[in-house]
Amino acid sequence: MKISMAEEEAAAVHGNGDSDEKVLEFLDSLEGYLTLMESLASTLRQGWFELASARHSMGVSRVSSASLDLKDHLASTYLEMTQHEFDESIMRQPQFSLRKWASFENGICSSGEEKPDSPQLRQRCPSQISENQEDLSKSDGSHTTVDDLVSVKKERSKSLSVFGTLVSPKLRAAQASFETALDILVEVANLRSSMLSARNQVQRGIEETRK
């Protein structure tokens, strides 16, 4: 009898410890989210300023939406998304990573499953992406070859060439600022996922306690 009561008390203390941990995880995610949003605002302000400077030196007509390329083309910077399904009762928590200056090809690869063949969709698994010389700088700072760097420079120039052959250094600086902003945004998206997942767990804990 005494042993079972002690066990119940230990379980209650352990349960409270678990819920405290979940609350702390949620608060940490929230703090990180707000900090990153401030950092994003600062980076975007710098980007807008540099864009305005470029517009001033190159002319309003050259740096405007009228110059944007409306011919069909693939994005050079895109996301790689990993979704983990841990439990059916918990919302899937996706994780995003940024692939910069690579070639976007729509594809889905699942671990442990054979990649389906499709003549219409060009599909690549991440393992193949790393072997491709055109697949380039990743936001996680992994090692790149000289070919990769040349290709990145080529893709960056291609993006700038929409605004003319000779562009202001300020436009290049704006490009770098917005690339940094993208890195921050991907971190924000990941923290958002963590925060919402932690919120769901805290909410479940509260509901279970109420029962």
Partner 1 sequence: MAGRAPIATKSSALIAMIADEDTVTGFLLAGVGNVDLRRKTNYLIVDSKTTVKAIEDAFKEFTTREDIAIVLISQYVANMIRFLVDSYNMAVPAILEIPSKDHPYDPAHDSVLSRVKYLFSAESVASGRR
Among positions 49-78, residues that touch partner 1 (CB under 8 A) are 51-52, 63-65, 68-78
- CA–CA separation, 188 and 112 (whole Å): 29
Nearest distance in Å: CB 8, partner 1: 17
Nearest distance in Å: CB 144, partner 1: 16
Q: Select from 5-13, 141-149, 168-176 the region that touches partner 1 (CB under 8 A).
A: 168-176
Residue 193 interacts with partner 1 (CB under 8 A): yes or no:
yes
Which of 202, 201, 197, 195 shows the shortest CA–CA distance to 36? 195
Nearest distance in Å: CB 57, partner 1: 15
Q: Select from 2-10, 137-145, 179-187 the region that touches partner 1 (CB under 8 A).
A: 179-187
Q: Select from 7-15, 137-145, 158-166 the region that touches partner 1 (CB under 8 A).
A: 158-166
Which one among 138, 148, 174, 201 touches partner 1, defined by CB under 8 A? 174
Residue 148 interacts with partner 1 (CB under 8 A): yes or no:
no
Q: Which is nearer to partner 1, 126 or 134 (CB)?
A: 126
**CB 104 within 8 Å of CB 72:** no
Phi, psi dihedrals of residue 99, rounded to the nearest 5°? -110, 110
Which one among 57, 118, 132, 209 touches partner 1, defined by CB under 8 A? 209
Which one among 39, 100, 139, 164 touches partner 1, defined by CB under 8 A? 100
Residue 92 interacts with partner 1 (CB under 8 A): yes or no:
yes
- CA–CA separation, 129 and 114 (whole Å): 16
Residue 165 interacts with partner 1 (CB under 8 A): yes or no:
no
Residue 182 interacts with partner 1 (CB under 8 A): yes or no:
yes
**CB 109 within 8 Å of CB 125:** yes
- CA–CA separation, 18 and 12 (whole Å): 10
- CA–CA separation, 110 and 131 (whole Å): 18
Which one among 39, 134, 139, 196 touches partner 1, defined by CB under 8 A? 196
- CA–CA separation, 62 and 80 (whole Å): 33
Scored b (16 or more CB within 10 A) or e, 189-210 reads bbbbbbbebbbbbbeebeeeee
Residue 131 interacts with partner 1 (CB under 8 A): yes or no:
no
Q: Which two tokens stand for residue 206?
A: 């509260």
Q: Which two tokens stand for residue 19?
A: 């819920």
